[in-house]
Amino acid sequence: MDDTDRGILALLGADARMSLATLARRLKVARSTIQARLERLETTGVIAGYTLKLGEAARQGRLRATVMLSIEPRAQAGILTRLKAIPEVERVFTCAGRFDLLLQIAAPNTQALDQALDQISAMTGVQGSESLVHLSTRIDRAV
């Protein structure tokens, strides 16, 4: 990746709907160059897709939480399979440190959140969990 590729990613990170012509103008390269670069970035997996990022107004009806799990050795595959079946689980990350998995979950209300947390903590192989309920977003730079 060179400066042009990084420029494309930065501009698309700010506005994924930016046209090829606008990208070319801003980066001072030909439109065909942008097209070829985007195709290469997609083919090599640097760009995995284009998505919609919801604003705070759309997220207001969702209660969000981070759940940190300690799991038994060699239990991760089974736990991941069961987590996929829980619709409130949005993302799962492996991590180093005191916990083995970090989950981002969202639910429409406290009852649904509580039920999801109960399901997660009752899974075979889960040794312990800690949950943090999100109150408000102060900084969001995620692309």
Q: What is the pLDDT of residue 51?
A: 77
Q: Which two tokens stand for residue 7?
A: 């420029």
So what's the pLDDT on residue 16? 86
- The number of residues in the chain equals 143
**Per-residue pLDDT at 56:** 65
The pTM for the full model equals 0.64
Tokens of 134: 């999100």
Residue 92: which H helix or E strand, with range? strand 89-94
Question: For domain 56-133, which architecture applies?
Answer: 2-Layer Sandwich (3.30)
Closest CA to 82 of 118, 123, 130: 123
Task: Please give the pLDDT value at position 60.
Answer: 67
Question: Are the beta carbons of 69 and 120 closer than 8 angstroms?
Answer: yes
Q: State which residues of the chain have pLDDT below 50.
A: none
CATH class of 3-43: mainly alpha
Domain segments of the chain as ranges: 3-43, 56-133
For residue 120, give the nearest of 95, 103, 132 by alpha carbon: 103
> What pLDDT is attached to residue 110?
93
